[in-house]
Amino acid sequence: MSTAASISAVTPKRRLWQEILIVLVVTFGVSGVRALLRLIDGLLAEPALNEQQVVLNAPQSELPWLDLSLQLCSAAVLFGYGALALFLLAGDGIRMRAFGWRDMAWGAGLAALIGLPGLGLYVTAVQLGWSRQVVPTTFEHLWFEVPILLLWSLANAFGEEIVVVAWLMTRLRQVGWALPAVILFSSVLRGSYHLYQGVSAGFGNIVMGLVFCWFHHRTGRVWPLVIAHFLIDAVAFVGYSAIGGDLSFLGL
C-alpha cells in the first residue's frame, strides 16, 4: 500500500464495519454460506461425495453468441468485485503498489508452491471420499473456449485476491484486529466459498489463504497473488480442456 492503513476521522470504525458487512454480503461472504449449504446437500445426498461431480465452467446457453455474452457478463461481475474494493480503498487514499516485473516471478513461484501440492490433495481427497469430482469445464464451443477459460482465470484471480486479501486485510487491521486474526479470517473466508467442491477444497484453500496473506503482509504487494491465482486456474482449466477431460492418469 502506498498509504499506511490507519483509521482517519473521515472513516470511523462504525463506517468501516458497515463497509465490511456490505461488501462481504455482496461478494464472497454469502458465497461462503451458499457453498457450505451445497456441501451439506452433497453429504446428505444418496451418492457418496466422491461419486458426485461439480462443474466449474459450464455453457450458459446453447447459442454460441449468447453463451459468449453471458460468460462475459459473469466474468465482469468478478472484475467488478475487485474494482469496488480498489475504489473504496482509494477513497481513503490507499492505493495498490504499481505492478512490477518481479511480481511475475513471485507469482510463478507461489503458483508452483500452491498448485502442485493442491493437485495431490485433490486426488487424495477424491479417493478418500472427501471431495466431489471437479470438472473444470464442459464448454462445447471450442472457438472461444480457451479465451473464455483464460478470462475466467483472470476474473477469479482479480476478484478474489483484491477483495479477500488486499481490501479485507486492510479494513480488518483498520478496525483494530490483530494480524493473526486478520490472516485467519481471510483464509477461512477463502476456504468457505470453495466448500461446494468438498471438504478438502475448503481446507486446501485455507492453507492457500494463509500463505497468500502472509506474503501480502510481508511485501505489501497483491499483484503476485493475482498472477499466482491466474496461473493455477489457467493451468487447471486450459490443461483439462487440452487433454479432453481425461483424468485417468490421476487415477480418477
pLDDT in tens, 101-159: 899 999 999 999 999 898 888 888 888 888 998 888 888 766 778 899 999 999 999 99
What single string gives the DSSP state of each residue in 127-150? HHTSBPEEEEE----HHHHHHHHH
| Residues pairing with 195 in the sheet | none
Q: 121 or 180: which carries more pLDDT confidence? A: 180
Contact 35, 195 (CB under 8 A): yes
Q: Structure pTM? A: 0.90
The pLDDT of residue 249 is 43
The pLDDT of residue 142 is 67
Residue 60 CA to residue 68 CA, distance in Å, equals 8
pLDDT in tens, 50-108: 899 999 989 898 888 899 999 999 999 999 999 999 999 999 898 888 888 899 999 99
8: confidence class by pLDDT, cuts 50, 70, 90:
very low
Instruction: Give the DSSP H/E element, type plus range, for residue 55.
Output: strand 53-57
3: confidence class by pLDDT, cuts 50, 70, 90:
very low
> For the purposes of burial, counting CB atoms within 10 Å of the CB of 99, is it exposed (0-12), middle (13-18) or buried (19 or more)?
middle
Give first-to-last CA distance, the chain, whole Å: 43
Residue 156 CA to residue 138 CA, distance in Å, equals 18
42: confidence class by pLDDT, cuts 50, 70, 90:
very high
Residue 167 CA to residue 188 CA, distance in Å, equals 15
Domain boundaries, the chain: 13-244
Residue 229 CA to residue 158 CA, distance in Å, equals 8
